[in-house]
């Protein structure tokens, strides 16, 4: 079967012969920007039913319909890994979200710390970035994006069955091997520009469910630290191992 070159995330159920109506924005993208015509193929996914090849049945300026032809990939989910990160400048926060989706996380949790220099993060906007990243990288799952939560509140209500891997910049040195960590649900915690305050660091070190680790001999920017930690965890405990 011919493979579709365009992937599109939809909310509608997918299945053999299922009709999928398009929103105005989706119709504009497919027919106004990409210039698709009736009969063209589009790859669809909704985070539940895998990926399906669908044919354009009707194309209009403000809408359209696709018909599912065949499933082209099964539904897959990333490991039970969350990324907790302090928002940074907009473009760099967008980068963190995009790359976290590509590397494989189940949930994104923005956290407000004492040194967080950007407290304006809209989950709906970041959700769109997550969807776009999933469309580009071939994923069939889009991570949930939580609302911004203060670090003390996050820790106070934390389910201790999910351990936190904290990228602690004070431990700068050889990167630690994570293969000895126990399996199970995890979260990676990345701090803000300037790191955590002394009080925040002390609270993290005292928490029995937090494991501090080094990401190498140099102090990394927040977005670099997020990528490095995700790669180390995925290699040791995730679906890269």
pLDDT in tens, 12-53: 999 999 999 999 999 999 999 999 999 999 999 999 999 999
Which of these three, 73, 95, 111, is where a domain ends?
73
Q: Do 17 and 133 belong to one domain?
A: no
Q: What is the pLDDT of residue 216?
A: 87
- Would you say 86 and 93 are in contact if contact means Cβ atoms under 8 Å apart? no
* 1: in domain: no
CATH number of the domain that residue 54 is part of: 2.40.240.20
**Which of residues 134 and 170 earns the better pLDDT score?**
134
What is the mean predicted confidence (pLDDT) over 214-226? 90
Q: What is the pLDDT of residue 155?
A: 97
Q: Do 109 and 188 belong to one domain?
A: yes
Q: Which residue has the tokens 């473009």?
A: 91
Q: What is the pLDDT of residue 1?
A: 60
Read off the pTM.
Answer: 0.91
Q: Do 178 and 107 belong to one domain?
A: yes
**How many domains is the chain built from?**
2
* 133: in domain: yes
pLDDT digits 0-9 by tens, 86-117: 998 888 999 999 999 999 999 999 999 998 87
- Would you say 146 and 111 are in contact if contact means Cβ atoms under 8 Å apart? no
DSSP 191-227: --TT---HHHHHHHHH-TTEEEE---SSPPPHHHHHH
pLDDT digits 0-9 by tens, 59-90: 998 999 999 999 999 999 999 999 999 998 88
Domain that holds residue 33: 7-73
Q: Which two tokens stand for residue 183?
A: 């399996």
Q: Do 99 and 69 belong to one domain?
A: no
Q: Do 44 and 156 belong to one domain?
A: no
Q: Do 25 and 103 belong to one domain?
A: no
């Amino acid at each position: 079967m011919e493979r579709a070159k365009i992937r599109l995330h939809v909310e509608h159920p997918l299945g053999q012969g299922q009709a999928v109506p398009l929103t105005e924005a989706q119709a504009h993208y497919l027919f106004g920007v990409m210039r698709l015509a009736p009969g063209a193929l589009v790859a669809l996914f909704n985070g539940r039913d895998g990926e399906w090849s669908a044919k354009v049945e009707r194309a209009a300026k403000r809408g359209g319909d696709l018909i599912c032809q065949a499933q082209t990939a099964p539904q897959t989910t990333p490991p039970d890994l969350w990324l907790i990160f302090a928002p940074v400048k907009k473009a760099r926060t967008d980068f963190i979200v995009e790359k976290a989706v590509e590397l494989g996380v189940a949930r994104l949790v923005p956290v407000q710390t004492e040194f967080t220099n950007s407290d304006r993060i809209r989950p709906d906007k970041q959700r769109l970035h997550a969807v776009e990243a999933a469309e580009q990288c071939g994923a069939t799952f889009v991570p949930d994006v939580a609302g911004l939560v203060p670090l003390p509140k996050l820790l106070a209500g934390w389910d201790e069955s999910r351990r936190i891997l904290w990228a602690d910049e004070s431990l700068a040195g050889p990167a630690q091997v994570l293969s000895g960590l126990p399996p199970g649900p995890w979260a990676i915690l990345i701090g803000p520009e300037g790191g955590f305050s002394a009080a925040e660091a002390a609270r993290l070190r005292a928490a029995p469910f937090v494991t501090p680790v080094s990401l190498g001999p140099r102090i990394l920017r927040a977005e670099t630290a997020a990528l490095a930690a995700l790669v180390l965890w995925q290699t040791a405990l995730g679906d890269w191992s």
